Amino acid sequence: MISIDFVITGLDSGGAEGMLYKILKYIDRARFTPRVISLTGLGVYGDRIEALEIPVIALNMNPSLPNPLKFLKLVYIFYVNKPDVVQTWMYHADLLGGLAARISGIGNVVWSIRNSDLSASKSKLSTRVIMKACALLSRKIPSNITTCSINAGVIHTQKGYDKKLIQHIPNGFDIDLFKSSSVNKHDIRTELNLNFESFVVGFIGRYDPQKNHEGFIKSAKKIIQKIPNVEFVLAGSMVDERNVHLKCLIEELGLSDYFHLLGERNDIPRLMNSLDVLVSFSNYGEAFPNVLGEAMSSAIPCIVTDVGDAVDIVGDTGFVVERNNVQELCDTLCSFSKLSKLQKNNFGQKARARVEKYYDIENVVIQYQDMYLELLKR
């Protein structure tokens, strides 16, 4: 059996955390023995991972107040258990987990790049400092560096990461969980009081500046002038009636009757089926927007901006608009809404087929497993 310790900055809701959970769910337990170490707390994924009968250790580090004793505890954990491979997720875990693994004598360390924007205006100073430290140590600590995004790999190479170590493994999606369902479409539209004749536009993601909720909401003012039967479904952490900024913006623009703010949901596979199209209007930061793969698996076409690998993900199954270009988003949605039902379905089926070919989670996990086996051969 090959033992693997996955070290991650935290286990709250997020794309990196969700991808780690999927890897753990599908990894071959006959060959690999995984364990998870969170530098901070258990978050929302701690219990889910433990439900897979995989042990989880939370070091409860305070991000704003480094504690050397917590780091030494991590070194001790590695020293005692001697995992065959340590894979770290996100910058803080790459740096601290990588150093601790090397100090304790672990030979196979894998870093994971999950971000594609490192500009001073968009990233925290602390994040950029840690990233720079990782760049300097990338020739000393990791045996391999995985990135879910080709674009992110290029950016980090330009920042000083060792190009020879970077390996692209995309995010993967559960195509049995995310799939088209007319029953779910009927049920979820009924639950949300969506008109069955409405053209429903989805915008799913946590409330974060890089997601550009504000830009999307402002575009809605133009969209309803061209698509009177449109309705907007928004979901994600902090995307609900308690978000004063979002609620006030929608009310100021006179759009309250068109918007459904659902907050964080645990039924995203069902929710996807309520949509006619999904929009990702991000303006920076994202490497591989997971919501695109989830929508496409559900046969929902996507309209995206050229951020991270979004354009490569949708390929010819969706549409690309310029960042922050409200008019182009409006025109694209209007054009798509006028297509026949058959034409819309064809886009959706092509999207589903693209995920099956390139982003099926089981095939993605095999790529990770092959990488671990190759490291051990060395």
pLDDT tens for 324-333 read 999 999 999 9
Q: Alpha-carbon distance 155 to 151, whole Å? A: 6
Supply the pTM of this predicted model: 0.90
Is the pLDDT at 123 greater than 70? The verdict is: no
Closest by CA position to 264, among listed 206, 211, 318: 206
Domains of the chain, by residue range, sit at: 2-172+360-377, 182-358
Mean pLDDT across the chain: 94
Class of domain 2-172+360-377: alpha beta
Number of residues that this document lists for the chain? 378
Token representation of residue 375: 């490291």
Residue 160 region by backbone torsions, left for phi larger than 0, else alpha for psi between -120 and 50, else beta: left
State the average pLDDT over residues 357-361.
Answer: 97
Is the pLDDT at 254 greater than 70? The verdict is: yes
State the average pLDDT over residues 171-186.
Answer: 96
Is the pLDDT at 357 greater than 90? The verdict is: yes
Is the pLDDT at 212 greater than 60? The verdict is: yes
* pLDDT tens figures, 293-314: 999 999 999 999 998 899 999 9
Please report the pLDDT score of residue 274 as a whole number. 97
Q: Alpha-carbon distance 125 to 107, whole Å? A: 31
Token representation of residue 2: 């090959």
CATH 3.30.420.10 given to domain 182-358: no
Q: How confident is the model at residue 64 (pLDDT cuts 50, 70, 90)?
A: confident
State the average pLDDT over residues 133-148.
Answer: 96
> Tell me, what amino acid is at 132?
K
State the average pLDDT over residues 5-23.
Answer: 93
Is the pLDDT at 117 greater than 80? The verdict is: no
Q: How confident is the model at residue 236 (pLDDT cuts 50, 70, 90)?
A: very high
- Decide if 2-172+360-377 and 182-358 have a common fold: yes
Q: Alpha-carbon distance 235 to 259, whole Å? A: 11
* φ and ψ of 12, to 5 deg: -75, 175
Beta-carbon-side half-sphere exposure of residue 68 (alpha carbons within 13 Å): 0
Residues contacting 359, CB < 8 A, separation 6+: 170, 171, 172, 173, 293, 297, 313
Q: How far is CA 186 from the centre of its chain?
A: 27
Please report the pLDDT score of residue 122 as a whole number. 61
Percent of the chain with pLDDT over 90: 88
Please report the pLDDT score of residue 107 as a whole number. 92
